[in-house]
Structure 1
Amino acid sequence: MKKLILILLSLLIYHAGFSQRTQKPPLHGKHWMAITGKPLGATAGAMIFSQGGNAVDASCAMLAAVCTMWDVLSWGGETQALIYNPKTGKVIAINAMGIAPTGATVEFYKEKGMSYPPEFGPLAATTPGTPGGLMTMLAEFGTMSLEQVLAPAMEMAKGYPIEAQTANMIENRKDLIKQWPYSKKVFLPHLGEEREAPYAGEIFVQEDLYNTLSKLVEAEKQALAQGKSRKEAIYAAYERFYKGDIAQEIVRGTREQGGLFTMEDLAKWKVKIEEPLTINYKGIDVYKLQEWTQGPALLQSLNILENFDLKSMGYNSSNYINTIYQTMSLAFADRDFYYGDPDFAPKSPMKGLLSKEYAKERATLIKEQNDPEMGPGDPYPYQNEKNPFLHLLEKRKNAMAYYQPEQPIQGPEDPFLQSFLSGTTSIQAADKEGWVVSVTPSGGWIPAAIAGNTGVGLSQRMQSFVLDENLNPFNVLQPGKRPRVTLTPSMALKDGKPFLSFAVQGGDTQDQDLLQLFLNIVEFGMTVQEATEAANIHNYQIQSSFGAHESKPGSITLNSQIPSWVRNDLEKRGYKMNFMERTSGPLNAIWFDWKHKSFWGGSSNHGEDYGIGW
């Protein structure tokens, strides 16, 4: 009897542990789901849903809130989104990436002794994209007024209790912030004291930003009073931001601090509503933005991995880790050489890059030992063309000044690692009407140069251009061009219905984390919350999109719980390992339970990301 009791107790303990496999509980909802990078941001989305808004309305409110909170982005940054429209059954792509301003040429930066545009300051700034992206999404696919969706952000701009993460980031970067007078005015309320940044919990006030947002609402109201429609009134606010007095102050304030913006740059820029790229992985249609982002690298990775039986390898076995590491090395090598703004020549060979046949060829390059010299392939034959850049591929290794195989990552504080993991935020929303939104906005992170008296922090995305065609002939800086960015929302449909909406912050690791989240659910049967917290790996053999654009072949981040026998085998295969307690990245996702007609939300335990469902 005693033995039976012990067996029953052990089973109860086992099942209790199994039922609480995640540190955060999964989210459940029947009517709507709102997830983003900060609790207050998710609350803004919930407020809009409770007022009858749809998922697009709620996403716009969350976007406005996190920009106001400086959640590793600001109002002068960039927004990119995927939207599932239940009325058409199609996925729509929103391209609200700013452009290189007039005067931003290769020669301009090289004359200043730069190998890449700088990481910070007015010369790092593309034109603001987020305001236009928000207003376009709202006008085209939302149901509410701009005044309604901006209300939470405007209340926050009047003053909200700033959280420790942002307050401490301001304090840590205050030396840079002091270079820009308008940033100093906003960020350092205790100038001259020992701590010059706000304290955690202090009411952080942004009067200039509140005035800018008020002008947008004022333009909308004036248009409505003139008999304009909801949509037309929102676009009237858009016009005021990009062509009116707001634009004039952005240009004046940016140029005063050494930037290059002109009124024409802002006036000519437009948000683009695009067709996303897609591939099918084992019956699931996966959607990403076009090649001005790194998104297609995830699609390429899935095409390559279809050639392997991942499930039989076992989750995070050494064979599995070796396979996905080298797969990412191959896909991202193509990203680093072939991706760029499709509006400019040359045009990336995306048909070849996303072909299943090309993926089979790339899959044959994956070996038992890691190859630190894996480079881009030649996709042109797979679209019946001849590669015009074979000569550059041959020269490419010599041009890679960032190639440093003998310098492994030194630990969590390694500057290379900090740059590589540079964050942003992500937004996920869904509603019972069928609208689904996945957004990865960014730009204007602290330390940001603020554009005059607007409260608008400028983007730092210029640094993602290259100034040497040997590195990537498709992503060479030109005025009016969009840089190839890391920002990469994701969506998947199964049987023509939403299956998974997912996004993450984290610079060049974004599509690495998103790939593993997808595989965790599809191949290993994890719930969405389990998948957001799972022990991912990170690959640094790819070229960083930031700073000095370095690469560290063979370097890999593993979760601290990876067992010794896996570590030993990976070391034999040529990997240089470092370890972290949490390696999932701040993943946010919504999984659609069509059997029960409900939503499952997942929000990683990695950071401050938070969700609310109803």
Structure 2
Amino acid sequence: MTFTTRPEITGTFGVATSTHWIASAVGMKILEQGGNAFDAAAAMGFVLNVVEPHLNGPLGDMPLMIRTAGADAPRMICGQGTTPAGATIAHYKSEGLTLIPGSGLLATVIPGAFGAFMLMLRDHGSLPLRDILEPAIHYARHGHPMLPRVANTIAGLADFFRDEWPTSFETWLPGGNAPTAGALFCNPDLADTWERLVTEAEKATGREAQIEAARHAFYEGFIAEAIDSYLRDACVMDAAGGRRKGVLTGQDMATWHASYEDPLSVDYHGWTVWKGGMWTQGPTLLQSLRMLEGIDVGAMDLRGADFVHTVTETMKLAFADREAYYGDPDHTDLPVETLLSRDYAAQRRALIGDRASLEQRPGQIAGLEAWARAAVERAGRDMAAGPGVGGGEPTMAHLTERRGDTVHLDVIDRWGNMVSATPSGGWLQSSPIVPGLGMPLNSRAQMFWLDEGLPTSLAPGRRPRTTLSPSMGQAPDGTELAFGTPGGDQQDQWQLILFLRLVHGRMNLQEAIDAPLFHTGHFQSSFYPRGTRPGHLMAEPAFGEAVLQALRDKGHEVEVSEPWAVGRLTAASRDTGGMLRAAATPRLMQAYAIGR
């Protein structure tokens, strides 16, 4: 019997799993009171804004994957806001920038997560909006136990907040005192914001009309007005070490709407796997599966050096293509059919050797050679961080606590509705608190380049190529799966490892999550200052010294993490008989799966 840190949760009524135990409990509460998975997911998302404010916020962004009971395939809801009308390369360069900072006002795009939740609730939810927001209002007003990492993050930024972002100082250090780990922490301004939004929405008649009224209050009403008013005059320090004004306006917010789209998919050993479109990094997982289907992964030790090496080299190739060819398909004609084709995968697979590659190797696609050359040239630049704060989105305890990350949730209800969502952005360290709202803006614009002619060039109205990447799958026996993780560039690396262990190791969800994890920082980082670490491979010590040494012998620059320090995966599934399962990582001792 394989040891796991906790049981795989099983039941038939409902399961909720997320990166914080309170959010998971709130999701189960919503299911218990008659709500469906869509209601539960939204309530969980708003609670995660409160209890993990260093990892996500209400003015952040989110891709949302949903599958209604009995549907042949899931759908994506795009909660990734676009760039403001004033976000031009010329303007950013006139501010003395060569890279978009990882924090501050110029890093902001239109907040999209709220709109995505409202679209899902309007079309698929069942409970009144007040029921959805009440748990978040409660924890913001009456307090939640402060996570040690949040307390440490705030303490480390206390001087910066006091000197540069006074609105953040007032919110995160009430009375001038840094919060204590484990003590109750309140955000009364956030509670007031949500209470006012619900009260205004309830002036409309009917559930759907109230949700539309709430969306209007957010994007065209008092929330948009507060953001617009603040940004007219605010000029604040950012990660590049300068004080700069933003370009987001209320008019930008008023013209944006969350939207539906079909996900991309591939088949793998009888499974179907769905991921977000080319504006996410999700297709890297699909490209990796295309390459790996020509390799006998099932014959490998899934904790062994050959498995780690093969998967790492595969991911290097997929992520090199991400840097060259991914972007917003609404603005650029992208070669998605080629990238997901078996012929192209065969060409890429042939590059995987017995030694760790130290090169950036995007594929060569006819007519797009300039994009590939540019990706290689960018990876070779010396891009040092400035003296500011909030330089991006690395993840996990072995990295600095001054930087942001992400959260994740998966929910399945008794009818078979499913949600997988990865809310992010609007971290407490990303941007100052908007006065009176209790929430900071996002910094997703740092995904763009200030070079012309690329799929990821900064331009008005364009979606950044985000790292956020929820997943769904379906097994040959009909079992439906929802899974995901925080982690920036690591999200689709850890998800790929989890999925391969489910397919080839026949592990249950908890076993696959608990097994030792790894990732590479070899390719271009998505986050300021956009560095690369050629040959890098981080692995947990649970692999054992023999495996780690074998990887060094293959040429990998092995960095051994602290124990239980890589990955924040959660997952949930439903088989054709209605049995539900869920699991959550023990790493960081925050995530939890609940169900019955």
State whether TM-score is above 0.5.
Answer: yes
- What is the CA deviation profile of residues 429-450 of structure 1, one whole-angstrom value per residue up to 9, with x for unaligned ones? 0011010100001001121421
- Displacement of 1:351: 0.8
1:93-125 deviation line (CA, Å, top 9, x unaligned): 010111212322212222233222111122221
The amino acid of 1:423's aligned partner reads: D
Q: Deviations over 1:267-296 (max 9, x none)?
A: 001101111111111111100111111000
Q: Deviations over 1:227-263 (max 9, x none)?
A: xx32122111101111112210111123332222112
Pick from 413, 426, 430: which aligns with 1:431? 413
1:138 pairs, out of 118, 121, 137, with: 121
1:164-183 superposed matches below 5 A:
164-178=148-162, 179-183=164-168
Match of 1:504 among 481, 485, 502: 485
1:243 to 195, 205, 220: 220
- Give the partner amino acid of 1:269: W
Aligned: 1:33 with 2:15: yes
1:49–1:58 contact (8 Å) kept in structure 2: yes
Deviations 1:154-204 (A, max 9, x none): 11121213322222221122233332232122111131xxxx321224332
TM-fit CA distance, 1:462: 1.2
Name the counterpart of 2:376. 397
1:295 aligns with 2:282: yes
Partner Cα distance (2:32, 2:216) in 1: 30
Stretch moving more, 561-570 or 319-328: 561-570
Query: 2: distance between equivalents of 1:533 and 1:147?
Result: 37
What amino acid sits opposite 2:214 in the alignment? A
Following TM superposition, by how much is the alpha carbon of 1:313 offset from its aligned partner in structure 2, in angstroms?
A: 2.2
| 1:169-568 superposed matches below 5 A | 169-178=153-162, 179-191=164-176, 196-224=177-205, 229-257=206-234, 258-344=245-331, 346-379=332-365, 386-387=366-367, 389-394=368-373, 396-402=375-381, 418=400, 423-447=405-429, 448-469=431-452, 473-495=454-476, 497-568=478-549
> Residues 536-588 of structure 1: CA distance to partner in whole angstroms, max 9, x if unpaired?
11111111111111111111011213233333332222111111212540100
Contact 1:240 1:246 in 2 (8 A): yes
Q: Is the 8 A contact 1:420 1:507 kept in 2?
A: no
**AA paired with 1:157?**
A
- Does the 8 Å CA contact 1:419/1:546 hold for their aligned counterparts? no
* Mapped partners of 1:421, 1:101: distance in 2: 24
The equivalent of 1:592 in structure 2 is 574
Q: SS of the residue aligned with 1:594?
A: coil
SS at 1:223 equivalent: coil
Q: Does the Cα contact within 8 Å between 1:300 and 1:331 map onto a contact in 2?
A: yes
Give 3-state SS (helix, strand or coil) of 1:156's partner: helix
Supply the distance in 2 between the matched residues of 1:555 and 1:155 (Cα, whole angstroms): 44
Structure number with bigger Rg = 1
Change beyond 3 A, Cα 1:469–1:584: same
The Cα of 1:66 is off from its aligned counterpart by 0.6
Match in the other structure for 1:154 = 137
Give how far 1:481 is off. Answer: 1.2
Q: For residues 395 and 156 of structure 1, what CA distance do their matches in structure 2 show?
A: 47
* Cα contact 1:421–1:509 (8 A) shared by 2: no
Equivalent position of 1:52 in the other structure: 34
Distance in 1, matches of 2:552 and 2:534, equals 13
Q: How far is the alpha carbon of 1:490 from its aligned partner?
A: 0.3
- Describe the SS at the equivalent of 2:542: coil
How far did residue 416 of structure 1 move?
A: 11
Percent of aligned positions with the same letter in both sequences? 34
2:573/2:581 contact within 8 Å kept? yes
Structure 1 residue 609 and structure 2 residue 594: aligned? no
Q: Distance in 1 between matches of 2:87 and 2:463?
A: 12
Report the CA distance shift for 1:528/1:150 in structure 2 as closer, same or farther (over 3 A): same
Structure 2 residue 108 is matched with structure 1 residue 125: yes
Q: 1:83 aligns with which of 56, 61, 66?
A: 66
Q: Does 1:93 align with 2:72?
A: no
Task: Give the gaps of 5 or more residues in structure 1.
Answer: 1-17, 380-385, 405-411
Q: Distance in 1 between matches of 2:312 and 2:452?
A: 27
Pair 1:86–1:150, CA change in 2 (3 A): same
Letter of the structure 1 residue corresponding to residue 535 of structure 2: G
User: 2:537 is paired with a residue of what secondary structure?
Assistant: strand
Q: Is the CA contact 2:144–2:186 (under 8 Å) kept in the aligned structure 1? A: no
The alpha carbon displacement at 1:517 in A equals 0.3
Residue 135 of structure 1 and its aligned partner are, at CA, apart by: 1.0
TM-score, length-scaled by structure 1: 0.89
Q: 1:398 to 1:296 in 2, by over 3 A?
A: closer
Q: Which 10-residue stretch deviates more, 545-554 or 162-171?
A: 162-171
How far off is 1:417 after superposition?
A: 5.4
Residue number among 88, 92, 96 corresponding to 1:109 in the alignment: 92
Give the Å deviation of 1:419.
9.3
Verify the 8 A CA contact 1:403 1:551 in the aligned structure 2: no
Instruction: Kindly indicate whether the alpha-carbon contact (under 8 Å) linking 1:558 and 1:583 is maintained by their aligned counterparts in 2.
Output: no
Aligned-partner SS, 1:190: helix
Structure 2 gaps, min length 5: 235-244, 384-393
Offset at residue 76 of structure 1 (A): 0.5
Once the two structures are superposed, what CA deviation does each residue of 1:377-427 show, in whole Å capped at 9, x if it has no partner? 034xxxxxx42x3134345433434479xxxxxxx9999955999521001
- Normalising by structure 2, report the TM-score: 0.91
C-alpha distance in 2, partners of 1:74/1:329?
31
Cα distance, 1:612 vs structure 2: 1.2
Aligned partners of 1:84 and 1:437 also within 8 Å? yes
CA contact (8 A) 1:422 1:507 kept: no
Q: Distance in 2 between matches of 1:357 and 1:593?
A: 33
Give me the CA root mean square deviation: 2.2
> Distance in 2 between the 1:22 and 1:494 partners?
23
Q: CA deviation at 1:71?
A: 5.3
CA distance in 2, matches of 1:560, 1:284: 31
Q: Is the 8 A contact 1:421 1:506 kept in 2?
A: no
